[in-house]
A and B are shown apart, each in its own frame.
Chain A
């Protein structure tokens, strides 16, 4: 069974940092492209970042470019999102999602709250 489990969310002050993790199981993680997608409270889905299966190709939404860094460790079946210089508008549930090319499996999400 495919499982994606995010962790690392929490309350952080504006300007602070957080590192999100997504633990994958039930499939050959190293063969799949992965994404982070977020959803602010009561709002729609917003794509954040993409990483290719080997990690060599990475894309970011303009809203996070230069502040967020996506990475993966295929040996550990894990996806990461390093978030720096956080802003109030980054407050959201962050989902990791497998791409096939549709986003066919999503984790339950981890809530990031940026507030003083």
Chain B
């Protein structure tokens, strides 16, 4: 079982909200980790969006709009990325990551389609 699991795809309408999940493997407590989120548009390099551990330990990436936010769902052991007011330019792949056991671990990525 992978350390981080992300749904392969997600679709939503312009102006709506999108909720990305990043589920940590059983036995790895989401409460312990900072969850990092990256966006990668087609043909472009990855861009750091934000990190979230708790409401008192979070950071928005430089220039990242406030409609991008992070949170956690302890009941499902998952990190969450929320995008509100979806725009066509948000169409991209979204990756979560954690620093785990002296390695960076990335989730497999979720492809967002805005239609």
Residues of A at the B interface (CB closer than 8 Å) are 35, 37, 44-47, 50, 59, 61, 95, 97, 101-104, 106-109
Contact = CB atoms under 8 A, between A and B. Distances in A.
Contact of A46 (B48, B51, B62, B106): B106
Interface stretch (B11-19, B21-29, B97-105): B97-105
Contacts of B61: 102, 104
A50 B104 CA distance: 9
Interface of B: 34, 36, 38, 40, 45-48, 51, 59, 61-62, 93, 95, 97, 99, 102-109
Contacts of A45: 38, 40, 46, 95, 97, 106, 109
B93 to A, nearest CB: 8
Nearest to A59: B102
A45 B106 CA distance: 6
Nearest to A46: B106
Contacts of A46: 106
B51 A109 contact: no
5 contacts: A44-B93, A47-B97, A47-B104, A101-B34, A102-B36
Given A47-B104, A97-B46, A102-B59, 5 more contacts: A37-B104, A44-B107, A103-B36, A104-B48, A107-B45
A101 B104 CA distance: 11
Nearest to A101: B99
B108 A102 contact: no
A95 B62 CA distance: 20
Contact of A106 (B45, B93, B105): B45
Given A44-B95, A103-B46, A104-B48, A59 B109 contact: no
